[in-house]
Amino acid sequence: MKKENISQNNHDWYKPMSFYQIWVRSFCDGNGDGIGDLYGVYDKLEYIKSLGVDGIWFSPIYPSPNADFGYDISDYKDIHPDFGDLDQFKRVLNKAHSLGLKIIMDLVINHTSDEHPWFIESRKGKDNPYSDYYIWRDKPNNWKSLFEGEAWEYDPIRGQYYLHIFAKKQPDLNMDNPKVRQEVKDIMRFWLDMGVDGFREDVINFISKKEGLPDGLSFLPAATGMSHYKDGPHIHEYLSEFRKVCNEYDCFQLGEGPMTTVNSAMKYLTGKTKSLDMMFSFDHMMADCLYTEYLHRPFSLIKLKKAFTKWQNALNGKAWNALYLENHDHPRIISRYGSEYFWRESGTMLAASYIFQQGTPFIYQGQEIGMTNIKLMSIDQYMDVSSITNYHTYHLKEDPERRLHRIHLSSRDSARTPMQWNATDNAGFSKVKPWFYINPNYKRVNVAKEEPDSLSILNFYRKCLSLRKSSETLIYGQYTEHFPKDKNIYMYERSLDDESYLVICSFSRFPVKAHKPPKFSGCHGELVLCNYPDMKTDPHAGIVGNIHLGLNEQELKKGYLRPYETRVYRYIRRR
């Protein structure tokens, strides 16, 4: 890409930025009740800043009965008492701003909690002002819920069924009702007036349902009906109303788009229907599973590379990617796409595999220290509604141990264990027993241990973010993948004018040889980042754990990569 093209529409403020996602309940307990809160967040803002990120996305921190841990909201304009109150939120916001960190809130408008006053009123009958805030029918259609069986629940008070695409305690709002859309705009203004900088919009492509709610078909039972509520008939109309509010404030909007395809995403991100600045897509989260992590399959690097490159190529010059490998909805990435044995090596390599792509990187709490999946002993110990449903719905002919193993591989709960701050009791997360299990590896995997270690995963994330920020090429440059068919190595280039960065990532547990792309033959690249120590200066550089890799400096020069090694080279083309 030529430098002059950057200026066309690329100077939006969020493009050079990177974000840290906080799931507050498990981040840091500041008031000693075992639950993470905004007092803990306040104390850790300097740590977040030290990572080199520029903003924070808060998963929902509003009052909620926690049927889906905050994604079932009972009051959009307050703070969950477990987390603090509005004054404490304002303190966090002000301190974050003074540190140069933006704050993005989660906007969950596809559904509320069934304990939201709107629903409590709505269920009372057909003649109250909230009657049409939700989707009520005398007879259900065949849609299935993504979290809990049928998508319809009979309400004996109202004598009708209500729609819930997610859990039973998450009734879907009726976005066709202009009063509901007005409420959404009021909620947006409430937070924007307080000073927040934007929204991450939950399952935003699901909010408009097809008229008449016809029966649906799907090869995935849980998605029955989805073709009638994904990218529904009025979605762009409704989102353009919300966009107008955001435009008044120069805020940014990031939509979560489950099952979104490149083509449908482009409608949200470009042209006349542009209503979002970025979208979270899911294709790259399916390199070891199908739709839900519960339908597990062996990890395929080829699938991962295809997904990465598809989105990079499609959006290049037209839209902007939201880059992530982890969030509160997915198991930990080292346990999925890396190796817990080559923990440090794969944790660092995975960072480089996505942070240098074109887009705004998001890092989920604990990802930066290489937290891994937790293995609980019984399904009763898991808390996440979708894990519990999956266990009781799929693979029922298998023995319980095998089914539990599937939950271990797939559960969202692995992302929700308390953050590991140090090796003291309760991992430094709380002075008392935390609300949820701590991963037993906390004595080895924690912030305090990684801080002083120049080769740690934590410090590698810092190096990646600072390298990205230092270079217009790494932010705006053209993305090109090399050797897409290689089953061990993911190699991509970012280029702008006469500068190129080549990012090489080995996904192999064995030494593998990386070839130079022909365009670089004869060119000498400068090694600007590597996740292994230098062979020349460190006698342990060829050793991982107790294994001597048998590689010497000569072999490294010939292009051999150590297990999960990543290297970033910078090339300048002479004119």
Residues with a known catalytic role: 202, 256
Print the binding letters for residues 32-51 with Ca ion: x by CB under 5 A, - otherwise: -x-x-x--------------
Q: Which residue is nearest to Ca ion (CB)?
A: 37
- Return the residues of window 187-216 that contact ligand NOJ according to CB under 6 A: 202-203
Residues whose CB falls within 8 Å of the CB of residue 182, separated by 6 or more in sequence, listed in order:
none
- With CB under 5 to 8 Å by kind, the binding choice for 35 among Ca ion, ligand NOJ, none is Ca ion
Partnered with residue 55 across adjacent β-strands are: 19, 102
- Residue from 48, 107, 108, 438 touching ligand NOJ (CB under 6 A): that is 108
Q: Does position 279 bind ligand NOJ by CB under 6 A?
A: no
Min dist CB 26 to ligand NOJ, Å, is 13
Q: What is the C-alpha separation between 424 and 446, in angstroms, rounded? A: 10
- With CB under 5 to 8 Å by kind, the binding choice for 203 among Ca ion, ligand NOJ, none is ligand NOJ
Helix (H) or strand (E) holding 137: strand 136-137
Q: Does position 166 bind ligand NOJ by CB under 6 A?
A: yes
Print the binding letters for residues 34-73 with ligand NOJ: x by CB under 6 A, - otherwise: ----------------------------------x--x--
Print the binding letters for residues 485-524 with ligand NOJ: x by CB under 6 A, - otherwise: ----------------------------------------
Print the binding letters for residues 422-451 with ligand NOJ: x by CB under 6 A, - otherwise: ------------------------------
Q: Give residue 397's region: left, alpha or beta (phi > 0; psi -120 to 50).
A: alpha
CB 268 within 8 A of CB 276: yes
Partnered with residue 513 across adjacent β-strands are: 560
Rounded (5°) CA angle 259-262-268: 90
- With CB under 5 to 8 Å by kind, the binding choice for 202 among Ca ion, ligand NOJ, none is ligand NOJ
**Count H helices, E strands: the chain?**
16, 22
CB 80 within 8 A of CB 98: no
CB 238 within 8 A of CB 181: yes
Which range, of 21-29, 213-221, 349-357, 447-455, touches Ca ion by CB under 5 A?
A: 21-29
Min dist CB 400 to ligand NOJ, Å, is 25
> What's phi and psi for 117, nearest 5 deg?
-55, -35
Min dist CB 32 to ligand NOJ, Å, is 27
Q: Which of 371, 346, 318, 360 is CA-nearest to residue 507?
A: 346
- With CB under 5 to 8 Å by kind, the binding choice for 368 among ligand NOJ, Ca ion, none is none
Torsion of CA 68, 73, 74, 78, to 10 degrees: 130
Task: State which residue, 432 or 547, has the beta carbon closest to Ca ion.
Answer: 432
Q: Return the structure tokens found at 13.
A: 């403020």
Q: What is the C-alpha separation between 272 and 146, in angstroms, rounded? A: 31
Q: What is the C-alpha separation between 72 and 8, in angstroms, rounded? A: 40
Give how many residues touch ligand NOJ by CB under 6 A.
9
Min dist CB 83 to ligand NOJ, Å, is 17
> What's phi and psi for 289, nearest 5 deg?
-165, 175
Interface residues toward ligand NOJ, by CB under 6 A:
68, 71, 108, 166, 202-203, 256, 328-329
Interface residues toward Ca ion, by CB under 5 A:
29, 31, 33, 35, 37
